[in-house]
């Protein structure tokens, strides 16, 4: 049990990568607070040992504080919530930009600010905690077509990750980002369905993956478990790609 004794907070845990990571962390002995803006999706955790499902909109700063306040302890934060805007700079509105940065970057700022005092108090004030932020290969790592706002906001995630890591490296806090390639999740399927020709759209997503297939959410979860665990105790401030070769 690599996460025994640890309590984790996960955002956007109702489906997709967030859910796969919650189940993987709970299977390794963590107590996981699985949160999502959509309470219906949280019903899927009924009867799952080690998981406490709590509705949470990460655009609501006060709600984040309320959840963190009632947690008995916080060892791990996995910031998974994010939104994909489709389009070039010429198709981007101010509102699109604001929304994506609020969900993809500002929400991580808020959750980190809420949990850090708890993490710094761990181990009798010596500090211990692992923060894992969802970025993407589409960020400062790689430009992809029609991902102007998304790439910019996920680059911000890598920047804020490194800043937190640098500020708290001497106080027991680690902060890393993960950068998946294309993962077959409900939101990806929604994006595929939004195309005029969904079959061609799926083929195009697969074509950009050198392994010739999409990842499953379960193939991303082991990286999150590793970063949450003490196995990664010497790793901080990094952006870990798990991308099927898209950045080779």
Binding site for ligand NAD (CB under 6 A): 11-12, 14-18, 36-38, 41, 56-59, 80-82, 84, 103, 134, 136, 180, 182-183, 185-188
> Cβ 43 to ligand NAD, closest distance in Å?
12
Q: What is the largest CA-CA distance in the chain?
A: 57
Nearer to ligand NAD, 120 or 206 (CB): 206
Complex with ligand NAD: residue 26 or 41, whichever CB lies closer: 41
Q: What number of residues does the chain have?
A: 248
| C-alpha dist (Å) from residue 158 to 139, 161, 213, 216 | 8, 5, 26, 23
Nearest Cα residue to 29 out of 232, 234, 228: 228
* Smallest separation, CB 93 to ligand NAD (Å): 19
80 vs 128 by CB, closer to ligand NAD: 80
Catalytic residue among 45, 150, 205, 240: 150
The residues near 181 (Cβ < 8 Å, ≥ 6 apart) are 137, 209, 215, 241, 242, 243, 244, 245, 246, 247
**45 included as an active-site residue:** no
Q: Which is nearer to ligand NAD, 37 or 116 (CB)?
A: 37
CB of 35 to ligand NAD, least distance (A): 7
Q: How far is CA 160 from the centre of its chain?
A: 13
Residues with a known catalytic role: 150
């Amino acid at each position: 049990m690599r996460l025994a004794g640890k309590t984790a907070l996960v955002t956007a845990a109702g489906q997709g990568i967030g859910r796969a990571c919650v189940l993987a962390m709970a299977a390794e002995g963590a107590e996981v607070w699985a949160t999502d803006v959509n309470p219906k999706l949280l019903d899927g955790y009924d009867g799952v040992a080690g998981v406490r499902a709590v509705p949470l909109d990460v655009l609501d700063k006060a709600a984040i504080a309320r959840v963190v306040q009632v947690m008995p302890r916080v060892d791990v934060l996995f910031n998974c919530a994010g939104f994909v805007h489709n389009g070039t700079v010429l198709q981007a509105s101010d509102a699109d930009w604001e929304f994506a940065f609020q969900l993809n970057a500002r929400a991580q700022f808020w959750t980190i600010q809420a949990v850090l005092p708890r993490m710094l108090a761990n181990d009798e004030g010596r500090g211990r905690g692992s923060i894992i932020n969802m970025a993407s290969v589409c960020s400062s790592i790689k430009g992809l077509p029609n991902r102007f706002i998304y790439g910019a906001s996920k680059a911000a995630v890598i920047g804020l990750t490194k800043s937190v890591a640098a500020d708290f490296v001497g106080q027991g806090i680690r902060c890393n980002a993960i950068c998946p390639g294309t993962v077959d999740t409900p939101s990806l399927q929604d994006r595929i369905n939004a195309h005029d020709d969904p079959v061609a759209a799926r083929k195009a997503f697969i074509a950009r993956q050198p392994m010739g297939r999409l990842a499953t959410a379960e193939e991303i979860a082991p990286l999150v478990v590793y970063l949450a665990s003490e196995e990664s105790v010497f790793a901080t401030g990094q952006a870990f790609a798990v991308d099927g070769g898209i950045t080779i």
